[in-house]
Structure 1
């Protein structure tokens, strides 16, 4: 139920309350009561209460009147609010009624603005039998709304509101042309109104079932309508002009009519109209008209007529003809078949027909299907240079592209035209076309890295063609072909299916295709872009150069307008795949049934041209999985790779698809300074480091401390010492492999110190001739600062994109399937040299630092040597030193105070110095052992003995070391499980030593 069907009720007026009377009884009752009390009590004071009776009565009457006025005001306010709500509801219902009337009979001016809004036969095609739709709108005026306001106090209550609700202003003044419409007035105004009526009827009645006949003069625009006047139809629309006095309405159209006749008659006076018109209106001016006869409207009803010009009517006619052609409803033209094979066109198009022997530099004209006028041909050179194809799923886009490519291949050889096929639907649709010798490649979305590098090479292809034209001294590819030189370039047609999907995957490529579209004509590069939703995908900068437009069936009018400039493609039937509208810059859309192409047809084209032609591809193959020195030399000699012969260490082969070449990659420590190599396990890090070290060795010493925490620390400290001591070398290389693993195995306090050492070397080492190469698997925690400290980065295979980007790599170059040695260098893909390509390296050139084997700590063999041992496990340390012959061990925890005191007196009596402490002449060595607490208890003894004895820390933590040594600096790190100890010598030097002699 719509809102207009719900009854409306006027609010009832509030009833007037009667005026209150004087309360006589209420006034006399107090007087009688006061008299009785006086008689009983005899008190005259009681008589005062008798006066209250009249006072109370008067006050009650005043209060009643005040309450009545308040009630009347409240009722009036409620009534006003109800009337406001009622007026708002009436306005809403009026608007709804106007909208319903406009939907039923769209006005002529609305149709001119948007013809598709009133087109009733395009969505479902032709309907069977006679159709309705003979009701039209003459203009806008006041008509009965049908709204009635019930309620109220009487029929005259709220009369103005009732009249307003019952009248619908600015509503369509409808008329049924089936009963005949007569228009009286000046002929120009009458024709303007009749044009509006005729446009409405043309939008409502299918062109294959209705014929339109008009006078010979003044109605030329009607010829553009798809309704054919020469064919017998179930209905005819006849427009006649005066005089037709005494003529019956059914014969106003003249003889030869069959079926129902709809008449629109024009006259200057009523008596000139044919008799029998159900509706007669008089047009008094451009904005004034009145009804003279109507079964629906009262005589004299004034309205504003709907007048349109012949130009507006012609625009609507062109739109209707295009949509009727798309729907197959236009009569008098060749019937378009539901399907056709490419081999059947033009006397076996795929054979060597003389008609198609032409130079592709001048034309790529080929037949792709059948239209209303016969075979339909496309010329990408003349009508292009680029094309846009739109169409929804199942409309036949891929079949159209296959047919078009096969047809072009049939008319031109591989030396004249080549095809680069891009299919972001897996490549199955274009797979048969790979048999053509014209095909230089098929790019799919199955390999994103290969697709990205191939598409990036297109910019380089433009540059290459520009160089060829410049060397030949010509302006375009046509002039180059006319010279008959060996450098003649074939046209390159780039066919892209699912262009929107490709841009979603590679959004940066849109700028590339805009460049190709802008420069492609003279260079012989053409684009055929196919997408399901052209709206918003093919932007204006690209669409401006795509003058050849094709659209199969699309789902909405916006997509059709984006391609063709008209919404006719939205009316194409889903039951006819391959039905297509073709528009070029010089003409409107042409309907075509695209031919289908089978695999034997493509093989026939391929067999005719042969496969001996070697085509130049617009990009190089991906880098090989293994690169050897012989491979590099062969690529450089063939010109596929560039070797700039720059100084430095040879790394491998670099891929530069944007330049259509490979380049020999090198690392020059003199200019690139530090290098960071990042890669996962078995990615080729150690191989890269060995290669660089082997090539650097003749220029200077190479230090490779390996992966031991002691040797790496010592190498950093030694490198820092050399720099501070001013030991400068022409060139020196420090190679740190698996630095992240070494960093993780250092204790917590050593890690920031090591990074500080390394950062200082990276910052200051270049001035001292030091070059550092660091290899790591992962950069976590504080190691994430390494990329900022290293000027060069070689990124090998990593497990995921975030790590690749964090290392400084480009996300587009990330690939988990890289072979060992594959990675990125300077923003490009690189493949490192294989290990067997490095050659042999003399052992004296690359010095690999061995594992640390420090001297053992023992007092044996040196008479008078004294050791002070701070042990985490004193009993174990005492037993270890006690096993050495000639060694006396004093355990501070178990020795008597007298023995300790004697040792102290002996130490104080003898001069200080190495080896001066002896307990007895026969002893060759004395070892004092105690834990931290024991030594702190014997602090005076420690202070005396450490002047001449070594202080050994066995199994102690940094806190123990600092508590006894009272030093804040870091001793050298100790590798776990090797019986390593710290030795603090009397001169303050801290060194690493072994607990006992090694076998």
Structure 2
């Protein structure tokens, strides 16, 4: 592909080959060889080779000439092909350049043929125009290589561009010299192009008191002096002449300002206005010459473009009509630069009543005929508002909502406001009784909730219409049905921002736009960049279009079908073009709203006493339910719609569930007997312990036991529950609450952990049949506790630290919300907020747990005690201080054997003894151990599970011990293993909140 600015190369002409040379040596060599063979052999046949030599030489010459002719023919064909390709490239570039110049400066013939073309009133390069068609230098570059004389004709053809626009810049002034009729025709060409390029608000045409220029008075640029900020002024002047001397202005009266676009007419160059940068000499209708030009060579001939007075008059009429439609021209000064809502008239108060009105007409501003009345129902049913920053979009929406609120009661129209700029613009409108919700910047969870809530509102309205057999919200049969419906107006500011963040919402708005007319739901969508954002499926149902000033013609065209909104002045916020049902747009000034206007609208239609009963009229139905509160008490659950699950005596109250698809809150209940076990998963501070306290406070429904996160207490509770479900112990139906079970598991040793999980599995599997239901609270579902989900029928997922752990716990990634308050989570697929105790309610108190008795209190004065200690010296010193004078303490550490007398005394129990040793010492004294074990208690102090099994000859797992509490295992003579406290513990032997060990 050849680039437009790439230099083209002229192919070199093929060189002529040299003529073939007679092969003299090739002819003489065979003769010499033949003579030599004849001399040696004497055979006359050898002379035959001498005869063939000249034949071969002549044949070679003819063959060489044939090859050269073929090569020359092939080279000539390649050269011709290359020249043809070069000519095609040059022609393509010339045509492209000609089209480009024609688009930049359209000819007056094109302008007159399509007076409403899209190039009208363009904003850049507007003073560059075309005087006609001629031949100019092209930008095609040809490289001829080492033969500069090659293809002169081709290079001359490529260097020129025929039938190209001869462009001039009107800012330097244009002088036209020639016969008056031809000069005026060329001048009309210039004025028509300038008025086509420059909008009326940017350019004016000064009064032209010349013969044949009456048509200029019809131009929209000529009707008045223009508003402040006019950039250009077109001035046409001519010296005194015999045609109409009384109407020719004084030469010195020409506007000398730098913004004046001067067009001077004369029959001689000397009579032109001074300072014209471009001078054109018109010789005839088909020939003109540039006498002076900063853009082209002097003496350039071209065919001028001529415009008759009749054609110019038609152009002026078309331009005026389009300017009226666009709202441009000096008559826009009839509109005020600003107007308040109170200035345009009182609210059009309608009869206050229930049900949707037939229209939503209200005063929105001031138009060219007075007050501007906009009807969202008859002109809509939906509206699109476009406007760049600072054009007054938010003020327009506030005014529209306030005007509707002042004209209709909350029973007739309600508003749902969506603001993606933080909610500052719509904040004052919340005081209106019509406002049923204000939604600011959404997150992913809120966006999903929006889909459900609005879809539920559509279903509700469909159900009401179906029950009354009504066709739309204005059907009289609604009054005889289940209830009337008000009109709901959904106002969205920064619609593009919302759709870019949550594309799935576009389908919902398309559905609302398609069904909203009959259901009484109307959209007002506002955005800065409508082009490409509000798609055709949505725009097709938005017949009411309002465009404030936009940045480019594409955005203007997307809203009102023309590029007029791009030409609205930037210094007049609220200046707006309104189009209804693809009609021509009309100009207006949108009113601004003051705080007193909003107060007046609220008081004008606020609910008041019912004339019949004297009661206050209930507020309007809210289609958008607020998110769940961050704090829920039992008072909030009173009266909540819960028809799907009526309360029973065994139901535990958990909190509130959010059902946006049904536009309601529902009480979250859990029935242990019906629903089964409950697994609660949540990070630190998510509300797990508060939930367990809430369940404990409802123990009047069913007995509840709360087990805090304690190593010993959790073990004992699981051991008792396991014996209960296995039939070895019996208790009434109850609920067992286990807090932070995963952290307790992490603190158990491996064998205790495995044994506890086995007990937990037994309880979860067999507990419901014995009336035992478990609530397990964990921080994470990982490792050993991951299998709990298969055994718990109910999962309550509270706030997790991150999305990965949320998904690992069984949640969906789209539902993860790091901003959830404590107690917020998901339960049975719905958002839940758990109960918190009311401030006036005291938290439930746990019953005091008995402490473990110390070992000395368990011993008789004449009993022996065997102690296996990890630190025998420390333990021996302790027992000596506690049993001083009453018990002899024997330390086996370091002694290989005991004297026979000592062993007999210990075995026969003649004197009380406390025999202490570590595991190795007891294995050394195995005979003594075997003799004492049948009738003596054995204490394991600080020993590992392995030491317990080796010395105690037991394979079962003893009760778990919490580190740092001084608790020991006691293996009684009857074979039971209990937990006890060392004698050093003078205070309570059990940490607060723990449970006592089995005795």
Give the TM bin, normalised by the shorter chain.
Answer: 0.5 to 0.7
Alignment deviations for residues 144-182 of structure 1 (CA, whole Å, 9 cap, x no partner): 776565564463x456865775577xx8655789999xx
- Higher mean C-alpha displacement, 653-662 vs 831-840: 831-840
Q: CA deviation at 1:954?
A: 1.6
What is the aligned length? Answer: 833
Structure-2 change in CA distance of 1:361 and 1:17 (3 Å) = same
- Higher mean C-alpha displacement, 649-658 vs 387-396: 649-658
Tell me which residue corresponds to 1:875: 873
Contact 2:415-2:437 within 8 A present in 1 as well:
yes
Tell me which residue corresponds to 1:923: 911
Residues of 1 paired with 2:373 and 2:542: CA distance? 17
Tell me which residue corresponds to 2:676: 673
Q: Does residue 405 of structure 2 align to residue 403 of structure 1?
A: no
Q: 1:102 aligns with which of 86, 96, 99?
A: 99
Contact 1:341-1:595 within 8 A present in 2 as well:
yes
Q: 1:662 aligns with which of 654, 661, 665?
A: 665
Q: CA deviation at 1:422?
A: 2.4
Structure-2 change in CA distance of 1:210 and 1:148 (3 Å) = farther
Contact 1:444-1:451 within 8 A present in 2 as well:
no
Q: Does residue 728 of structure 2 align to residue 731 of structure 1?
A: no
Structure-2 change in CA distance of 1:918 and 1:485 (3 Å) = closer
Q: Does residue 397 of structure 2 align to residue 394 of structure 1?
A: no
Q: Does residue 529 of structure 2 align to residue 533 of structure 1?
A: yes
Residues of 1 paired with 2:490 and 2:620: CA distance? 15
Q: CA deviation at 1:531?
A: 1.7
Residues of 1 paired with 2:113 and 2:749: CA distance? 80
What is the TM-score with the length of structure 1 in the denominator? 0.67
Contact 2:449-2:660 within 8 A present in 1 as well:
yes
Contact 1:762-1:772 within 8 A present in 2 as well:
yes
Tell me which residue corresponds to 1:980: 967
Residues of 2 paired with 1:112 and 1:655: CA distance? 65
Q: CA deviation at 1:576?
A: 3.2
Q: CA deviation at 1:553?
A: 2.5
Matches within 5 A, 1:148-547: 149=143, 152-153=146-147, 155=149, 157=150, 162=155, 165=158, 174=165, 276-278=284-286, 295-296=301-302, 329=328, 336-345=335-344, 348-350=345-347, 361-371=357-367, 376-445=372-441, 457-480=453-476, 483=479, 487-503=483-499, 509-547=505-543
Q: CA deviation at 1:675?
A: 1.4
Q: Does residue 994 of structure 2 align to residue 994 of structure 1?
A: no
Residues of 2 paired with 1:464 and 1:4: CA distance? 65
Tell me which residue corresponds to 2:571: 575
Q: CA deviation at 1:691?
A: 3.8
Q: CA deviation at 1:710?
A: 0.9
Residues of 1 paired with 2:316 and 2:708: CA distance? 86
Q: CA deviation at 1:807?
A: 4.9
Tell me which residue corresponds to 1:550: 546
Structure-2 change in CA distance of 1:771 and 1:565 (3 Å) = farther
Contact 1:979-1:995 within 8 A present in 2 as well:
yes
- Higher mean C-alpha displacement, 360-369 vs 433-442: 433-442
Structure-2 change in CA distance of 1:229 and 1:570 (3 Å) = closer
Contact 2:725-2:770 within 8 A present in 1 as well:
yes
Residues of 2 paired with 1:358 and 1:673: CA distance? 48
Tell me which residue corresponds to 1:645: 647
Tell me which residue corresponds to 1:754: 756
Tell me which residue corresponds to 2:849: 850
Structure-2 change in CA distance of 1:450 and 1:98 (3 Å) = closer
Alignment deviations for residues 448-480 of structure 1 (CA, whole Å, 9 cap, x no partner): 989986885444433443444344442222114
Find the residue that maps to 1:666 and give its secondary structure.
strand
Residues of 1 paired with 2:762 and 2:584: CA distance? 73
Contact 2:869-2:916 within 8 A present in 1 as well:
no
Q: CA deviation at 1:669?
A: 0.8
Q: Does residue 620 of structure 2 align to residue 616 of structure 1?
A: yes
Structure-2 change in CA distance of 1:142 and 1:426 (3 Å) = closer
Residues of 2 paired with 1:567 and 1:230: CA distance? 22
Q: CA deviation at 1:113?
A: 14
Structure-2 change in CA distance of 1:891 and 1:335 (3 Å) = same
Contact 1:641-1:662 within 8 A present in 2 as well:
no
Contact 2:387-2:529 within 8 A present in 1 as well:
yes
Q: CA deviation at 1:497?
A: 1.2
Structure-2 change in CA distance of 1:13 and 1:833 (3 Å) = closer
Q: CA deviation at 1:381?
A: 0.7
Residues of 1 paired with 2:340 and 2:951: CA distance? 98
Contact 1:881-1:927 within 8 A present in 2 as well:
no
Q: CA deviation at 1:734?
A: 1.5
Structure-2 change in CA distance of 1:521 and 1:206 (3 Å) = closer
Contact 1:711-1:849 within 8 A present in 2 as well:
no
Residues of 2 paired with 1:901 and 1:965: CA distance? 25
Q: 2:581 aligns with which of 582, 585, 590?
A: 585
Tell me which residue corresponds to 1:722: 724
Contact 1:105-1:136 within 8 A present in 2 as well:
no
Residues of 2 paired with 1:110 and 1:949: CA distance? 120
Residues of 2 paired with 1:419 and 1:569: CA distance? 28
Contact 2:547-2:578 within 8 A present in 1 as well:
yes
Q: CA deviation at 1:626?
A: 6.0
What is the TM-score with the length of structure 2 in the denominator? 0.67
Structure-2 change in CA distance of 1:596 and 1:929 (3 Å) = closer
Tell me which residue corresponds to 2:255: none
Contact 1:322-1:589 within 8 A present in 2 as well:
no
Q: Does residue 706 of structure 2 align to residue 704 of structure 1?
A: yes
Contact 1:874-1:931 within 8 A present in 2 as well:
no
C-alpha RMSD of the superposition: 6.0
Find the residue that maps to 1:478 and give its secondary structure.
coil
Alignment deviations for residues 577-609 of structure 1 (CA, whole Å, 9 cap, x no partner): 223332333524334332333333334444444
Q: CA deviation at 1:528?
A: 0.8
Structure-2 change in CA distance of 1:487 and 1:384 (3 Å) = same
Contact 1:641-1:664 within 8 A present in 2 as well:
no
Contact 1:143-1:173 within 8 A present in 2 as well:
no
Contact 1:651-1:665 within 8 A present in 2 as well:
yes
Residues of 2 paired with 1:404 and 1:351: CA distance? 13
Contact 2:356-2:485 within 8 A present in 1 as well:
no
Tell me which residue corresponds to 1:289: none
Q: CA deviation at 1:565?
A: 4.4
Alignment deviations for residues 934-978 of structure 1 (CA, whole Å, 9 cap, x no partner): 344455665665566555322123354456557665432212233
Residues of 1 paired with 2:444 and 2:874: CA distance? 64
Structure-2 change in CA distance of 1:230 and 1:690 (3 Å) = closer
Gaps of 5+ in 2: 22-74, 169-175, 179-188, 207-214, 226-232, 237-241, 249-261, 266-281, 289-299, 304-313, 609-616, 987-999
Residues of 1 paired with 2:332 and 2:698: CA distance? 80
- Higher mean C-alpha displacement, 655-664 vs 878-887: 878-887
Tell me which residue corresponds to 2:123: 123
Residues of 1 paired with 2:316 and 2:745: CA distance? 81
Tell me which residue corresponds to 1:63: none
Q: Does residue 903 of structure 2 align to residue 897 of structure 1?
A: no
Residues of 1 paired with 2:132 and 2:548: CA distance? 34
Gaps of 5+ in 1: 21-77, 181-195, 212-221, 237-249, 262-273, 281-293, 298-313, 907-916
